[in-house]
Chain A
Amino acid sequence: MSVKIALAGNPNCGKTTLFNALTGSNQFVGNWPGVTVEKKEGKLKGNKDVVIMDLPGIYSLSPYTLEEVVARNYLITERPDAILNIVDGTNLERNLYLSTQLMELGIPVIMAVNMMDVVAKNGDIIQIGELSGQLGCEVVEISALKGTGIREAADKAVRIAEKKSAGAPVHRFQKRVEEALDEIESLLDGNIPEEQRRFYAVKLFERDHKIGETISGLPDVETIVASVEKDLDDDSESIITNERYTYIGAVVKKAYIKKSRGKMTTSDKIDGIVTNRFLGLPIFFLVMALVYYVSVSTVGGWATDWVNDGVFADGWNFLGFSSLHVPAIPELLNNGLEAVHCAAWLQSLIVDGIVAGVGAVLGFVPQMLVLFLFLAFLEGCGYMARVAFIMDRIFRKFGLSGKSFIPMLIGTGCGVPGIMASRTIENDRDRKMTIMTTTFIPCSAKLPIIALIAGAIFGGAWWVAPSAYIAGVLAVICSGIILKKTRKFSGDPAPFVMELPTYHMPTVGNVLRSMWERGWSFIKKAGTVILLSTIFIWFTQGFGFENGSFGMVEDMENSLLAGIGRGISWLFIPLGWGDWKAAVAAVSGLVAKENVVGTFGILYGFAEVAEDGAEIWGTLAGSFTAAAAYSFLVFNLLCAPCFAAMGAIKREMNNGGWFWFAIGYQTLLAYCSSLVVYQIGHLLEGGAFGIGTAAAILVVVFFLYMLFRPYKEKGDTWNIKMKTGKAVKA
């Protein structure tokens, strides 16, 4: 018989460290169905019958944040056999606030007070016996970091889980509130078990609008609640919160002897410098520059180039010696397949389709691991919260979080790790907005397109490249403002009431584990999309009707992809580049943006062109006007990103609807922007006023309306949709 123990606690209380210590490598990491909240489950070391569920770090069981709703739905509907509540001993008061709520659930609770070594070092004393007596549950002292006490905590949790009896919560509120709660309890349906009645009574008293989703037939208690509110001159939710903290205040007074009052801790000193009004920004930019330099410009970039150009293209020289040349995987495979006289199409499928697809996935991994290593460190040491603190003022205007800075910065190198970096943003709305807008920033793969257009059409004018970045930033800003006013994003205000955790050195194990988990989830979830789409493009590019029969084609003009390009090229006539070659180039950009240049080269009759396509500048200048060329550039900068980035978007949204919404929005914005660029440009070039011009003006008017329409953030409705019950099946 297996025992299920839920691990619950505040963020930054050492929960992850404890979870890792308890389960070791026996972990399954995933997502709660349909939402972006991470779900971790593991088996207790040395006792395979005990399953430990790591709940998201939460401060309360309120119905207002996604994490809290996920956690409490799990607790209410799945009812684990015991809750192991980990609390931070150095921050007892606020941590106990969640504990008082957990104890009302009617599930046996065992409390582990963490960071006892730090408490002792500060000269403070927590009287465990007193705390246990006051709270009415067993309390164990632990240090998750040093590994002390955790075995005892786990054993006690298992024992209490097997006993299956939850003591009634001993904490009581003031008389007037207790009377009302008793009255509500007596009105509850008789089927609700005794130990859960108080929980439902409190939730009804708070007018918790989500509690009705987990249980039906709750009584109407409005008159009782309203009368208490009138007597105590406050709303019922605040009354309960106040009562909890009043109670905790009394407990802490008896059990916690604080000696370190008023002393500056090391963390305070660090914070005094790092978020200093004058030094804060320079330090911030220094840290960001370092992250970028190492993970994009140097180590990460080298590693990714090695995988892309060495392992999967031309081979590489071991330790740099050309005598130790290691052939590339495609080369090896080609030799092998030719030796066994494999059919040409099968060889092409394996080498150009599957292996190239796998290479496309793996190529991102080294860079991503380097980036994730940094992110894990920044999160673990406490600086990530300060990033949000410093940048919030700027980013919140466009519906983004201060933490969106990092995804955008990394996005200038590559959008894929950029999107994956949005994982550090807690707020659901901010995170989704960041995922949707990160790829507007021109990544390094878009630079060849910029170079091509600048060189071929604008004579290498200096302003083309900066203007592309400005267009990207404008797209982010305008999208933020427009999207936050739409119904899909409205109603989820982001209360920026955020804990700034104490600085501390993260453990090597935790950092490496976090890095690996994120990297692996990219390979697993995004990898499938990337692989399948690479094979799809390989097929449409290499196959078609030639000389009256279907098969592999010699000339790309006969391929299915060219057919698709011809089929959709009319769509781009209003954008000024209705030529099918341009359409095919844009479609091939979905595999990787730099392919746009190469495809143009092939279509104009060159087997291979330079990175900026210098060979075809002349031809291109002949078929594009300046307005059309810039419109083509804008479209390729803003439209749906490459398949790898789409895979990352799909992975991070974890929801089909949101994924298509993101891709659809990006493509629509790209189309409209290009339309306006071409039509207005065309008019300036001396073109006639036509239907297209009128459409462009309409688009501009609509855009301005969406941008400036009045809007008010609603403070009370949180739009969290998740299926209860079903959502929590392990």
Chain B
Amino acid sequence: METLRNVKCGQSVRVVKLHGEGAVKRRIMDMGITKGTDVYVRKVAPFGDPVEVTVRGYELSLRKADAEMIEIQ
């Protein structure tokens, strides 16, 4: 399974499915990362985590551990 965690900076991917449950999953979806959304991985923080992505036209940061819940194409 390909997840957002392993996507390199500067690449754009499409979300296939969200795994996990509860608060974190809901939060990720509330922020606009839903099935079929395009996500552009913009950069990684200086210490290697979290990552910054562009989704629905704005900038969002999320931890790699949470990015792992996002299955991509």
A interface residues with partner B (beta carbon < 8 Å): 59-60, 62, 64-65, 90-94, 97, 235, 237-238, 241-242, 245, 271, 275-278, 280-281, 284, 385, 388-390, 392-394, 396, 493, 495-502, 715-718
Complex Cα distance, B24 from A103, in Å, reads: 25
**Is B57 in the interface zone, CB < 8 Å from A?**
yes
Within the complex, which residue of B26, B49, B56 is in contact with A392, where a contact is CB–CB below 8 Å? B49
Within the complex, which residue of B24, B29, B46, B63 is in contact with A241, where a contact is CB–CB below 8 Å? B29
Complex Cα distance, B46 from A509, in Å, reads: 33
- With a cutoff of 8 Å between Cβ atoms, the chain A residues found around residue B47 in the complex are 390, 393-394
Complex Cα distance, B68 from A715, in Å, reads: 14
- Return the chain B residue nearest A382 by Cβ: B59
B interface residues with partner A (beta carbon < 8 Å): 18, 20-32, 34-35, 37, 43-50, 52, 56-63, 66
Complex Cα distance, B25 from A282, in Å, reads: 34
- Return the chain A residue nearest B55 by Cβ: A94
> What is the CB-to-nearest-CB distance from A239 to chain B, in angstroms, rounded to a whole number?
10
> What is the CB-to-nearest-CB distance from A115 to chain B, in angstroms, rounded to a whole number?
12
- With a cutoff of 8 Å between Cβ atoms, the chain B residues found around residue A496 in the complex are 50, 61-63, 66
Complex Cα distance, B22 from A65, in Å, reads: 12
Complex Cα distance, B52 from A277, in Å, reads: 12
> What is the CB-to-nearest-CB distance from A346 to chain B, in angstroms, rounded to a whole number?
58
27 A-B residue pairs with CB within 8 Å = A59-B31, A62-B26, A91-B56, A91-B58, A93-B32, A94-B31, A94-B56, A238-B18, A277-B43, A277-B44, A389-B50, A390-B46, A390-B47, A392-B49, A394-B47, A495-B24, A495-B28, A497-B27, A497-B28, A498-B60, A500-B52, A500-B61, A715-B21, A715-B22, A715-B23, A716-B21, A716-B23
- Of all A-B residue pairs in the complex, the 5 with the closest CB atoms, nearest first, are A716-B22, A393-B47, A500-B59, A60-B30, A241-B29
> What is the CB-to-nearest-CB distance from B44 to chain A, in angstroms, rounded to a whole number?
7
> What is the CB-to-nearest-CB distance from B62 to chain A, in angstroms, rounded to a whole number?
5
Complex Cα distance, B56 from A241, in Å, reads: 15
In contact, A235 and B46 (Cβ under 8 angstroms) = no
- With a cutoff of 8 Å between Cβ atoms, the chain B residues found around residue A271 in the complex are 59
Contact A393/B48 with A64-B26, A245-B32 known, Cβ cut-off 8 Å: yes
> What is the CB-to-nearest-CB distance from A208 to chain B, in angstroms, rounded to a whole number?
10
- With a cutoff of 8 Å between Cβ atoms, the chain B residues found around residue A237 in the complex are 25-26, 29
In contact, B23 and A275 (Cβ under 8 angstroms) = no
- Return the chain A residue nearest B17 by Cβ: A234
> What is the CB-to-nearest-CB distance from A697 to chain B, in angstroms, rounded to a whole number?
37
- With a cutoff of 8 Å between Cβ atoms, the chain A residues found around residue B32 in the complex are 93-94, 97, 245
- With a cutoff of 8 Å between Cβ atoms, the chain A residues found around residue B31 in the complex are 59, 94, 497, 499
> What is the CB-to-nearest-CB distance from A262 to chain B, in angstroms, rounded to a whole number?
11
Complex Cα distance, B48 from A284, in Å, reads: 16
- With a cutoff of 8 Å between Cβ atoms, the chain A residues found around residue B61 in the complex are 385, 388-389, 496-500
- With a cutoff of 8 Å between Cβ atoms, the chain B residues found around residue A717 in the complex are 22
- With a cutoff of 8 Å between Cβ atoms, the chain B residues found around residue A389 in the complex are 45, 50, 52, 61
Complex Cα distance, B50 from A500, in Å, reads: 12
- With a cutoff of 8 Å between Cβ atoms, the chain A residues found around residue B22 in the complex are 64, 715-717
In contact, B30 and A93 (Cβ under 8 angstroms) = no
Complex Cα distance, B58 from A388, in Å, reads: 17
In contact, B30 and A241 (Cβ under 8 angstroms) = yes
- With a cutoff of 8 Å between Cβ atoms, the chain A residues found around residue B57 in the complex are 90-94
Q: A388-B61, A392-B63, A495-B28 are in contact. List 7 more A-B contacts (CB 8 A).
A: A237-B25, A238-B26, A241-B26, A278-B46, A280-B45, A284-B46, A498-B62
In contact, A242 and B35 (Cβ under 8 angstroms) = yes
Within the complex, which residue of A276, A394, A499 is in contact with B60, where a contact is CB–CB below 8 Å? A499
- Return the chain A residue nearest B24 by Cβ: A495
- Return the chain B residue nearest A714 by Cβ: B22
Complex Cα distance, B27 from A91, in Å, reads: 18
